[in-house]
Amino acid sequence: MDAGLFTANNVWMMVCTALVFFMHLGFSFLEIGLTRQKNTVNILFKNVFIICMGILLYYVGGFNLMYPGFEDGDMGLFKFAGFGIGAPENGMTPDYADGGYTWWTDFLFQGMFAATAATIVSGAVAERIKLGGFMIFTLVYVGLVYPIVGSWQWGGGFLSTLGGENGGFYDFAGSTLVHSVGGWGALIAVYLLGARIGKFGEDGKTKAIPGHNLPLSAAGVLILWLGWFGFNGGSVLSADPATTSLVLVTTCLAAAAGGVGAFLFSTVLYKNYDLTMFLNGILGGLVGITAGADLMSPNEAVVIGLLAGVIIVLGVALIDRLKLDDPVGAIAVHLICGIWGTLAVGIMGSMAGMDQFLYQLAGVGAAAAMCSVSAFVILLTIKKVSGLRVSKQEELEGLDIHEHGMDAYADFRMNQH
């Protein structure tokens, strides 16, 4: 391979790594904007903790759990290549990864993905989870569960070989392997935690608990949209012009269609222009296209996004009906739209077909089983040993004061409850 092309590929992957890192600011803005100001420091602390520990955990063992080098005869379920990271002899040459990037770029790009799963959980459990319990959950979930599930497909495990020579489960950039992994964790955590005080009245009706800063939430979603160009664009694993440009187009179209689909459908249902539905529709479109961004035509991307937008509105209503309290809509966005996007690979695009749909369904089921059971065991253990939820007084007065001893907005102590 020409040295210039190798360098261009590697530079593109490093740019994408930076964009995925930037997404953590987007998640932070989205979460703090959709929750109350008395919990802002707590949410920011969790998100900073996630990115720091996510990278370190991926360095210690996550990378070698996710890419263990499965061989013929392995079951493709679990393998560990050892602690730490060390570049192989060809790690800095075009012989590594077909010249798409170097070993170090590979580690850093994949490490940015690892922390995203726990960030998804952070928003769903906002305003009532003990910080210590959340940090323990993050250590185990990001350190073990995420890379093991990822190895089943991206590491050459059993999902990638379901159909033998005909291929297997397909997840281009992580509708299931990243977003649904986080979504299943969020669902189990929300169930075990219970709803925030005042979310569901004695009459059984759902009561809105408004976020304190929708401008920040809007900024967060737009940052995430930008970051998704790195999330999906980098998953090409090179700067290949044809594939990269197609992926960016399908990603952008699905996001736009998701927002429009959610805003139109929610307007018809609820007779108002709901900004939060609009914003979550954009995210739903992004999650939905992530599994097959390289397989879809522009028209198919628009259809996937539009349906994701409708799914968001229905998903949020379903979560409320089940009396589950998800302050930011993470379960509807990342879990439900993650499942939709994964199954869409078998319905539309260049791999569509009944066999492929069944492979996709198997992948969704495998991730669901592993993630939901693991999350339940981890969180239930924490709940029994040290408690998972803060006290009523701490929840009413805010986690910022009780967990951190500070305010996010020291000069503006209004609308605390």
Q: Are 105 and 7 in contact (CB under 8 A)?
A: no
Distances (CA, A) of 48 to 24, 83, 140, 352, 416: 8, 24, 17, 40, 24
Give residue 413's pLDDT.
Answer: 57
Q: What is the mean pLDDT of each run of 10 residues along the chain (417 residues)?
A: 92 97 97 97 97 96 95 89 92 94 96 89 96 96 97 95 83 96 97 94 84 97 98 97 98 98 97 96 98 98 98 97 95 98 97 95 98 97 96 96 92 55
Q: How many residues does the chain have?
A: 417
**Beta carbons of 372 and 364 less than 8 angstroms apart:** no
Cα separations in angstroms, 79 against 73, 110, 182, 226, 277? 12, 18, 22, 35, 41
The string of DSSP letters for 299-366 reads HHHHHHHHHHHHHHHHHHHHHHHTT---TT-HIIIIIIHHHHHHHHHHHSSTT-SHHHHHHHHHHHHH
What backbone torsions phi and psi does residue 200 show, to the nearest 5 degrees? -120, 120
CATH superfamily to which 3-404 belongs:
Ammonium transporter AmtB like domains (1.10.3430.10)
* Cα four-point dihedral sign 155, 158, 160, 164: positive
Note the pLDDT of residue 204. 73
Which residues, other chains included, contact 86 with Cβ-Cβ below 8 Å and sequence gap of 6+? none
How much is the pLDDT for 82? 94
**Helix segments in 58-102, DSSP class H:** 63-66
Q: Are 111 and 62 in contact, with CB atoms under 8 Å apart? A: yes
For residue 395, what pLDDT is reported?
96
pLDDT of residue 312: 98
pLDDT at position 72 is 82
Q: Each residue of 265-285: b (16+ CB within 10 Å) or e?
A: bbeeeeeeebebbbbbbbbbb
Angle at 172 between CA 255 and CA 256, to 5 degrees: 5
> How much is the pLDDT for 2?
85
Q: Give the start-to-end residue ranges of the domains of the chain.
A: 3-404
Q: Show the tokens assigned to 230.
A: 């790195």
Q: What is the pLDDT of residue 412?
A: 59
Please report the pLDDT score of residue 417 as a whole number: 47
- Other beta carbons within 10 angstroms of residue 365's beta carbon come to 10
